[in-house]
Structure 1
């Protein structure tokens, strides 16, 4: 099953994982243990990068997956193949999460296919590097916030009536929220908003038995950076400034999303995990 939700215009983002060299490592590294058996997860930005790795790991742990993606049909089809190879069901939903109606339709299609939603992973995001704040156009500023934080509000608003006690929401923030980023002013600002959203939404939903947490990755090798305007020089040394001295791989981040979604994290809400290569941050 595949649905195109609304009209989406190509502008080079978020980029194809199939074109990256070397290829990101998305493969789960251990056998599953049924930690998500019988669950249904809707994952935004699940066609590639961290989203694909999360979909693969969730499937190995027993979840069926709704793969929400923006443009890359081939990447989304490959993620679906990966999920199905784990013996789980998958649907692909082509949608711009910055559009409220598209999020509502994505949730409706997920319910139609699976009858429930237990986990919402808000992973979709975009970035546009700029050297100076005056280089950021109003259109870019609005779009970055529309995708990165408005999209999370819209997806949770659509899913909320269908989430029962025991459900989990996991948002993707970033190390840039804590460190700042001189070339990603609008992007890092949205990540600060996401962290505040996570903590506030946790306070709002915890009495209903719904946990809300976040993951703040460091530099991870996904289509986001090479296709998001990073310079060749920056890419050549991407991740080298971390204490570990290299970029992370998506399958080094996905376990944090698994932990926060499953019962292993039953006493955690409003928290942020930091798979960032050893960078020490507060919060």
Structure 2
């Protein structure tokens, strides 16, 4: 077995490695993978990155590497010179079926299906591979937008109880807007392919009657008790702060462009927040 983590390496011997964390919070924010995994290594803007693939798969790693470089360099260039990590790790568990991700300080833990990965002999981009790249983009964007700049009450977590905020629509919704938009900007997707994805998101929201019952601020605050505890009536009672937050980000982007004759965009707002609020967070 091999070991992959972004914890600080203290000692490395032929048969063992020792890692250290500054405190408990630091420890749990650096997941560890120990397995016989594939490793993809690359540099984005001269910063070392890795992706591990744990589980049987036939992924074309060179294509995955090329697309990840494009996505990572887009986000690095988007936020500018101050980078919240000196290396980054995509820990990926490959299963027969599965999808999801969780952001961490210098890494992300991902789950994907085998069919989500690029395969030999296929040069087009499938909807499954698009979804996986958007997931990678989403979690990587979070290194700036929730792991560094975050709601003010997220700067000091209480691990004994839930931590509430009405701002998840900003941090998850805006990230959801940019995760697919970055695939367009890097030319991984064509404009037509991107618009198909965007229209699917709009359709999903329009078909959700819960949008009449719950605001996205309420959806954010009630994430613990409603969004992550959905039942058969959820579509009629709640709305996703991911999907509707992304749609609101799009509307804000269009309105800013219209009001400024295309001299300003939502990009400028996000960068302004990054430049001015990353130390203390948003109230």
Pairwise same-fold verdict (TM > 0.5): no
Based on CA coordinates, which of the two structures has the bigger radius of gyration? Answer: 2
Superposition TM-score, scaled by structure 2 size: 0.32
Query: Which structure has the highest strand share of the two?
Result: 2
Higher relative contact order (CA 8 A, sep 6+): 1
